[in-house]
């Protein structure tokens, strides 16, 4: 009898001590996410910036163009939330070198390489006018003040 009671208690005890399952009635940002246009392929945070007393994070947005014939890349500078409100979009800049509607790139990968005060993004894409399919790679250096620098990386 004692063995059964101990065995029953050892099976039931973990269930009694476990936190109750969370059943959220509704996600708080559901409407915000549902309102994203279908052309927005991806949104990704990457690294931090500081300019004077202001600081914040970078955000990368990839959007389809011409019904998926290519993509465009945008860099956004978000100022950190203040005690009175959330983050603020400071600047949104297209990466014009990759956003040419007569020479479309299909961005396949963004790899964030954020290190302390330096933020670089490795961008990989296919180019529609290549005679043979070839994956192109660039390094996109992000800087405060809405500035970036794009450099092609030589194929290995």
Question: Considering just the CA atoms, what is the radius of gyration of the chain in Å?
Answer: 24
Report yes or no on 16 lying in a domain.
Answer: no
In degrees and rounded to multiples of 5, residue 106 shows phi and psi of -110, 100
Please state whether beta strands 40-51 and 105-115 pair in parallel, antiparallel, or not at all (unpaired).
unpaired
Report yes or no on 26 lying in a domain.
Answer: no
Number of domains making up the chain? 1
The whole-angstrom separation of Cα 125 and Cα 55 is 30
Predicted pLDDT at 153: 95
- Per-10-residue mean pLDDT, the chain, length 156: 50 57 73 90 95 94 89 96 89 94 90 91 94 95 95 83
Q: How many CA atoms lie within 13 A of 149 on its CB side?
A: 8
Predicted pLDDT at 9: 46
Predicted pLDDT at 23: 63
Predicted pLDDT at 103: 83
Range of the domain at 103: 33-152
């Amino acid at each position: 009898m004692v063995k059964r009671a101990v065995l029953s208690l050892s099976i039931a005890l973990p269930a009694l001590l476990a936190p109750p399952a969370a059943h959220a009635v509704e996600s708080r940002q559901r409407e915000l996410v549902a309102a994203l246009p279908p052309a927005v392929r991806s949104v990704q945070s990457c690294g931090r910036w500081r300019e004077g007393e202001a600081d914040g994070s970078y955000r990368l947005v990839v959007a389809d163009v011409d019904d998926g014939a290519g993509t465009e890349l945008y860099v956004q500078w978000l100022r950190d939330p203040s005690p009175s409100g959330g983050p603020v979009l400071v600047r949104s800049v297209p990466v014009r070198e990759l956003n040419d509607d007569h020479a479309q790139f299909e961005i396949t990968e963004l790899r964030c390489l954020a290190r302390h005060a330096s933020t670089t993004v490795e961008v990989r894409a296919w180019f529609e006018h290549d005679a043979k399919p070839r994956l192109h790679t660039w390094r996109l250096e992000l800087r405060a003040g809405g500035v970036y620098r794009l450099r092609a990386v030589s194929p290995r």
